[in-house]
Structure 1
Amino acid sequence: MLLGFVLVIYDNKCNMYKKLELNECDKYKDTYTINRIDPTIKIKTKRAFSSTYDNLTIVTEQVKSFCTNEGYEGLEFIELPNSPGFYWFKIHNIIEFDAEAYGTRFINYNKQCEGYEEIIGATPACLKVKEEIRDGFFRTDISFGSFATKAPLEIIGPMTKEKLKASGFTGIDYNEIYDKYDWQK
């Protein structure tokens, strides 16, 4: 059964952390835990959705308005001071990822920094909940990737996908999420 979709967002050729001072423990954290932006970053894309090389999702004023008009809750739009009309799109609605079902690997835990260097094995997305995802934006409880660029999967339900497609937003594709995959049978 189709549950929803993972957003696949194209890069905008920018690196949020390039000019930021990251400390030694930041490589064991994810984008949400680091929770900082480069106030000088200049986004030049025309896409409604884009991603920095370090996996921060950036959206336009049009996406922000769309989300407000739809009444979507649990979203935060962090203004980028040097890029008027662009925002870091943060999702606070959490869906549990089933790391055991997929065999996700947690690599090099650092006790002092309380995090992993890498978390590998995000796709296809295996969720603990096995029902259709409701209208809105969600993210996984686990962030995937390496070092300071770890980020959660961003997830929507079928109704949200139809609304996004109807709105003509650019810069996104959609990977299907199922309750069970062929390799699990």
Structure 2
Amino acid sequence: MLYHLSLKGNDSHMIGSCDEVDPSSGVPTCSTCGYRTDPDFTNPGFRLRRRRLDLSCCYDGAVIVSDRFRALHASLGGRNLRFVDLPKAPGFYHLTCVTPVALDYAAMGTQCLRLCAGCGRHLDVVGRGTIVLARGASLADHELAFSDRYFGSHNEAIPLLICGERLAKALAEAGVAGIDTCEPVIRQDAVGTVDGLESS
């Protein structure tokens, strides 16, 4: 079984607001739409406002994790995440993903709207029912992955976090702070029919 983790907010911004970036962050932007072109950009001057959460989300989509989460993930042999140092927030990291997991956006009812001719990014990725993995997609039970599309609008887009069952249980047993909800995901089998809540 796989799970979708939604995270609590940390009252912080990585690169600016939803509509405007902070030029001092150094984030690359599109000359056509003005929004960031690298959703995983790390601002070396980032300051974390809430430090009591082991996993949390910035207003503009960055996922922040603690040393505690990093150690737990490593103890299970996890290798699908990158932990980017935050000089102004020692003990915390900007989390990015090595190999995202593909989702079936048609089955989820997701709409990708307002394609920018400059950067090729949809400025709005909105709507979803139950999360459904794309045909053939899988994730090890001790891993966490980002979805291959980021949800939201403008600079606030954030990936969905998909978590394997062993890691989900370890997070719950350790009392890791910052997880708002943990809901089951549906996967699709090789012929495209939905297996309700079956492990990949």
Shared fold, TM over 0.5: yes
1:171 aligned onto 2:169: no
CA RMSD across the alignment: 2.4
Question: In the alignment, what sits opposite 1:107?
Answer: 113
1:91 aligned onto 2:97: yes
- Shift in Å at residue 97 of structure 1? 0.8
**Equivalent-residue separation in structure 2 for 1:26 and 1:57 (angstroms):** 22
Bigger proportion of residues as helix: 1
- Contact between 1:117 and 1:146, CA under 8 Å: does it hold in 2? yes
- CA deviations on 1:147-179 (whole Å, 9 max, x unpaired) are 112122111121211111111101103122124
Which aligned pairs between 1:11-30 and structure 2 lie closer than 5 A?
Answer: 11-18=9-16, 20-21=22-23, 23-24=29-30, 25=33, 27=35, 29=37
User: Where does structure 1 lack aligned partners over 5 or more consecutive residues?
Assistant: none
Question: In the alignment, what sits opposite 1:5?
Answer: 3
**Equivalent-residue separation in structure 2 for 1:142 and 1:88 (angstroms):** 18
**Equivalent-residue separation in structure 2 for 1:131 and 1:86 (angstroms):** 30
Q: 2:78 aligns with which of 52, 60, 72?
A: 72
Q: TM-score scaled to structure 2, two decimals?
A: 0.79
User: What is the aligned residue count?
Assistant: 178
Q: For 1:178, give the aligned amino acid.
A: I
Question: In the alignment, what sits opposite 1:147?
Answer: 154
Q: TM-score scaled to structure 1, two decimals?
A: 0.85
- Shift in Å at residue 61 of structure 1? 0.8
